[in-house]
């Protein structure tokens, strides 16, 4: 059993063990406290251990009842629902109940154990039981148990938020995987058909490129991180397929510098930027040349994708920011402030810049996401 299971598990056996551990610790504290009180004149004479155990047996049932009323009813019904007035009134009434119950338990204890007649047991003789046991100890006990319950709820809420954030990132990655444009697939398959029909020597290579690209998108990108070399290879294959699939003559420059071996990177980010922007300008029917520069320096990656338009006629700004909104969200979720993603547009040229992306030198263990349906915040 892990420490997390001990604190949060809903299994009856573990819950029982957790609650018994708490009451054992509290009873030990209460027992030590009562060893120093031996008579109605408070701390003049120490108690024997057996007398201390007998003494606490008169008060533990009161604490037990008040604690479970507090954590099972008062906190869930009022504090969690932000009904603060009712919570305050209920807590005060519960403390008054403890004060009164401990006072009369003290009277019963002094009558039975000290053989004092009821008419001789004044408040002065019984004030320790009323004020300390019924007041101070009760406030301390309710404060500790209430604090444990609130802390558990906060920690469970944080855990729920973390899982939901991971699920959000995974969902957005799935969206990137299905954004590959049907035009690209159609033209790629049509190109393969034409090469195969004429027995082109390039047909086998094109088949391998398409198969590798689809396999990467559908299967290999399920991991949180992939080798940077693989992502860059897929980007190069995509550009090569675009060159062979289009009726236009595109001028494409592709430059990669730096040591990319053994580096790991989030899959589909670079491919999505290239594919989305490429398809956007194809749909605009703009003639362009493309320059892709990727530089790796240490554990940082810089990416620059430039489109130079040969016959620039558009008078409206390009809407690449909207098209790449999904990629931008993914970058924010994954890298937060550890990246710089900008799109610069000037007359006849659009440049997409992605700077200072951190790379990993090892592949982390794949984490399985836990789907959250209903989260019941367990009692203390």
Residue 370 pLDDT? 40
Nearest Cα neighbor of 80 from 168, 159, 150 is 150
* Residue 295, φ and ψ in degrees, nearest 5: -125, 130
Instruction: Give tens-digit pLDDT for 230-270.
Output: 888 888 888 887 777 665 556 788 888 888 888 888 888 88
pLDDT of 177 over the 80 cut = no
How much is the mean pLDDT over the chain? 80
**pLDDT of res. 286:** 67
Q: Does domain 178-358 have CATH number 3.30.565.10?
A: yes
pTM score > 0.85 for this model? no
| Closest among 359, 234, 216, 244 to 292, alpha carbons compared | 234
Q: Where are the domains of the chain?
A: 3-167, 178-358
Per the CB < 8 A criterion, the answer to whether 232 and 238 are in contact is no
Cβ-contact 107, 59 below 8 angstroms:
no
Measured CA to CA in angstroms, residue 119 lies from 15, 16, 39, 109 at distances of 45, 42, 17, 14
Asked if 268 contacts 307 with a C-beta cutoff of 8 angstroms, the reply is: no
Task: Rank 83-87, 208-212, 362-366 by mean pLDDT and report only the highest.
Answer: 83-87
User: Over pLDDT 90: what percentage of the chain?
Assistant: 18
Q: What is the mean pLDDT of residues 5-13?
A: 77
Least confident among 2-11, 74-83, 134-143, 302-311: 2-11
Is there a contact between 237 and 212 (Cβ–Cβ < 8 Å)? yes
Question: pLDDT confidence of 377, banded at 50, 70, 90?
Answer: very low
Pairwise pLDDT comparison (372 vs 271), residue with the higher score: 271
Distances (CA, A) of 195 to 30, 93, 143, 200, 244: 87, 86, 78, 5, 10
- Residue 80: pLDDT above 60? yes
Higher pLDDT among residues 316 and 31, named by residue:
31
Q: What is the pLDDT of residue 179?
A: 58
- What is the model's pLDDT at position 167? 72
Question: What tens digit of pLDDT does each residue of 101-110 get?
Answer: 999 998 998 8
The predicted structure's pLDDT at residue 217: 75
- As a whole number of angstroms, the distance between CA 266 and CA 235 comes to 14
Q: What pLDDT, on the 0 to 100 scale, is given for residue 99?
A: 93
pLDDT number for residue 302: 92
């Amino acid at each position: 059993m892990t420490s997390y299971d001990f604190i949060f598990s809903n299994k009856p056996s573990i819950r029982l063990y957790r609650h018994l551990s708490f009451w054992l610790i509290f009873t030990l504290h209460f027992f030590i406290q009562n060893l120093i009180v031996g008579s109605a004149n408070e701390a003049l004479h120490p108690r024997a251990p057996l007398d201390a155990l007998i003494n606490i047996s008169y008060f533990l049932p009161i604490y037990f009842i008040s604690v479970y009323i507090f954590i099972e009813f008062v906190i869930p019904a009022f504090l969690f629902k932000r009904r603060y007035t009712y919570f305050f009134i209920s807590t005060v009434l519960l403390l008054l109940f403890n004060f009164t119950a401990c006072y009369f338990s003290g009277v019963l204890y002094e009558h039975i154990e000290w053989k004092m007649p009821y008419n001789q047991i004044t408040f002065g003789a019984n004030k320790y039981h009323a004020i300390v046991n019924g007041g101070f100890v009760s406030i301390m006990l309710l404060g500790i148990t209430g604090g444990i319950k609130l802390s558990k709820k906060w920690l469970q809420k944080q855990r729920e938020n973390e899982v939901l954030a991971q699920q959000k990132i995974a969902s957005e990655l799935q969206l990137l995987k299905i954004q590959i444009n049907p035009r690209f697939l159609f033209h790629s398959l049509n190109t393969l058909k034409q090469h195969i029909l004429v027995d082109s020597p390039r047909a086998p290579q094109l088949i391998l490129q398409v198969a590798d690209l689809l396999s990467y998108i559908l299967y290999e990108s399920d991991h949180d991180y992939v080798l940077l070399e693989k992502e860059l290879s897929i980007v190069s294959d995509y550009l090569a397929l675009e060159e062979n699939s289009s009726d236009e003559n595109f001028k494409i420059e592709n430059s990669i510098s730096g040591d990319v071996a053994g580096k790991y990177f989030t899959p589909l980010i670079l491919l999505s930027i290239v594919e989305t922007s490429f398809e956007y300008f194809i749909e605009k029917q703009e003639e362009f040349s493309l320059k892709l520069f990727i530089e790796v320096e240490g554990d940082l990656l810089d990416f620059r994708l430039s489109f130079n338009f040969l016959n620039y006629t558009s008078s409206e700004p390009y809407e690449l920011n909207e098209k790449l909104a999904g990629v931008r969200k993914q970058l924010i979720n994954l890298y937060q402030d550890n990246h710089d993603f900008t799109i610069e547009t000037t007359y006849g040229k659009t440049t997409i810049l992605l700077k200072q992306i951190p790379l990993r030198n090892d592949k982390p263990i794949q984490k399985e996401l836990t789907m959250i349906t209903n989260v019941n915040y367990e009692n203390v």
